[in-house]
Amino acid sequence: MTSKVLIIATNGFEQSELMKPRQNLLDAGMTVKIASPEEGSIRGWDEKDWGDTVSVDISVEDASAEDFDALLLPGGQINPDILRMNDTVISLVRSFNAAGKPIAAICHAPWLLVEADIVEDRKVTSWPSVRTDLRNAGATVVDEECAIDGNLITSRNPDDIPAFSKALIEMLQDAEVKIAEDA
């Protein structure tokens, strides 16, 4: 079985936080699809200027948690701020959480977890400016490269991508092993 991961992003995603985890997932043999409210392609933000574009595989309106094993949410300041105002995106985040499927959010992306109202009593981390929002939503905020609480995986910034990717890959591989054992 090959795990299928959905990445939700829009223009202004932090380039490294989409590209590197996506490549790590592909290298681990997983299928990755990018969903967006935009059609065609979306453009990343690369530190101080616009970066590369990536093709959108599916619209968020056509995406379903039932079709994927995990959700990855890249950060950047622009991307999650736009996405947290999109009811369809927030509904998808809630659906992944309700199904107990892994949700990996890095940097500013935990804003989406706050908007989806799924961080109360959960241990999470994020970019420093998002931490007050997380605390106000009832989360226990830590300053660690990767915080894992149940199905939630959160990280602080691009430096944490290796640990962030590893945690998601291991969670998916563990789920594949459990499915195989139960079969």
pLDDT digits (tens, 9 = 90+) for 55-102: 999 999 999 999 999 999 999 999 999 999 999 999 999 999 999 999
Q: Residue range 152-162: average pLDDT?
A: 98
Q: Is the pLDDT of residue 133 over 70?
A: yes
* Confidence category of residue 175, pLDDT binned at 50, 70, 90: confident
For residue 44, the model assigns a pLDDT of 98
Question: pLDDT at position 1, please?
Answer: 62
Spatial CA neighbour of 73 closest among 149, 125, 124, 18: 18
User: From CA 13, how far away is CA 8, in angstroms rounded?
Assistant: 10
pLDDT at 3: 95
Domain total of the chain: 1
Residue 32 · residue 22 · CB < 8 Å: yes
- pLDDT score of 154: 98
Residue 94's contacts (CB-CB under 8 Å, 6 or more residues apart) are: 116, 117, 118
The predicted pLDDT at position 6 comes to: 98
Residue tagged active-site, from 22, 84, 108, 156: 108
Which of 34-38, 107-111, 172-176 is predicted with the least confidence, judged by mean pLDDT?
172-176
Assess whether 108 carries a catalytic annotation. Answer: yes
Tokens of 66: 């039932």
The parent domain of residue 75 ranges over 4-182
CATH of residue 74's domain is: 3.40.50.880
Pair 93, 112: CB distance under 8 Å: yes
pTM, to two decimals: 0.97
Give per-residue pLDDT as tens, 11-69. Answer: 999 999 999 999 999 999 999 999 999 999 999 999 899 999 999 999 999 999 999 99
Please report, for residues 87, 89, 93, 111, 180, the alpha-carbon distance to residue 84 in angstroms, rounded to integers and kept in the order given: 8, 7, 10, 7, 36
**Res 11: pLDDT:** 98
Residue 156 has pLDDT above 80, yes or no: yes
